[in-house]
Amino acid sequence: MKRILTFQFLIVFNSSFAQIGDLGPVLDRFPELIARDSLSFIISEGKSSPSFSSLEGGAIEIEGEDISDVEFFILNSFGIQKKIQAKIFRNQLLGLTIATFTTEDDEYIDHFSFKIVSKVRINVKSVVGFILDSEVTLVHPRILTPTIGDVPKPVIVSRQEWGAQPPKFSYSNHPYIDKLTLHHAACCSADNLEDGKTQVLWIQDFHQNGRGWNDIGYHFLVDRSGNIYQGRPESVIGAHVGGANTGNIGVCLLGCYHPPETNCFEVMSDESKDAIIRLFGWLSDAYQQNPSVLLGHRDYFGTTSCPGDNVWYRLPILRIDIADYIESMELPPIYFSKAAFPNPFTDQVTFSLELKETKNIIIDIYDMLGRKVDSIMEKEIGPGSISLSWDGKNILGQRLGNGIYFARPMGNLDLKTVKLILIK
């Protein structure tokens, strides 16, 4: 029984369209159209199936070229038909035209119709509804700040560098972070920095002006050469998993990775994979999350193919790789940040240490015969950088003779014995 359920689960994903289906539920696939000739144009009309949820807009994916105009029609609160001019976006990677609309504030619908004017016959691949996000996104005055941990923050292409438009209104701050999510753009592949900037700007335009969101929905985006772009600040609520955006940091891989879709057969590049590991490694460390919480978009509600079959199956290995990367970056609770200096020394030698937390430090000094001749002690020091010095004298304050001595930290197995050379 379990194996049958798993098979059905995958079939649902493989039949989901990758493109605008990530913005809301697919209401229809290849709906029936009524087409008529009109001089040099073909006018195609259709309508959506009713939605079980209130909608604040919708979209259609059109297969075909030379789309001249698209209009949507809704019934307003008075039962009067209202025409809305579509906003049109062209997806060159998939050979699709996407037409979208949003309603006015507090104007909600459960279905809509549309009219397409084109020079050739077209098909509508999918009809999508933009549902209201039921999440409460209260403005939290406190901004979450990342902790300074062991994992370095990777280089990020700033919003200014890729030419971001400002958000339409104020963000809502995350009250906490407890989710990490990987997406694919289902479009907008980029193999270098300049193409990446162009594609990220296209996605922001689509999200802001096509979907009607405040800003680009993702917190970060990654291109195929490993460049990482800042979307929204990660401290604010995004718009990438409707119904699960609070506490959720979303990262989008540019490109299309769902082979059931036409021209959607890319596989994750090594550069993208390394960038994702470094980015999620830093996010996990900075916001105290276990990499095991990383999910693909489809893992939340099963209504999308995102992040595509070619990425989704790699998530278990990615979680392990991220955990290994974090572990490789972790520093011991105490360590020597520099070699003892100067060494050889005449009057004084200094030990430079880094402490993660407040500790008592004792460094014992031994001669060549293994006799303890002095101890350096500091109580309740750290965290951070500290320095301890030894003046070449014994426990009675007497100057020791030339020779080799050993500094051995007491009770700190993370620190190795240091060889010292005293000369006069």
In whole angstroms, what is the distance from residue 58 CA to residue 78 CA? 20
- Helix (H/G/I), strand (E/B), else coil: 49: coil
Write out residues in the chain with pLDDT < 50, as ranges: 1-19
Paired tokens of 114: 């549309």
pLDDT for position 132: 77
pLDDT for position 144: 86
Which amino acid, 116? I
| DSSP notation for 97-113 | EEEEEEPPTT--BS--E
379 contact partners, CB below 8 Å, separation of at least 6: 360
Q: What would be the CATH architecture of the domain defined by 334-422?
A: Sandwich (2.60)
Sheet-wide strand order for 55-63: 26-29, 123-131, 55-63, 96-102, 87-91
Paired tokens of 75: 């019934």
pLDDT for position 177: 94
pLDDT for position 383: 83
In whole angstroms, what is the distance from residue 13 CA to residue 322 CA? 26
Please determine, looking at this structure, whether the domain spanning 159-329 carries the CATH number 3.40.80.10: yes
The string of pLDDT tens digits covering residues 105-144 is 778 899 999 999 999 899 999 899 998 766 555 556 678 8
- Map out the domains of the chain as residue ranges: 2-131, 159-329, 334-422
Q: What would be the CATH architecture of the domain defined by 2-131?
A: Sandwich (2.60)
pLDDT for position 378: 86
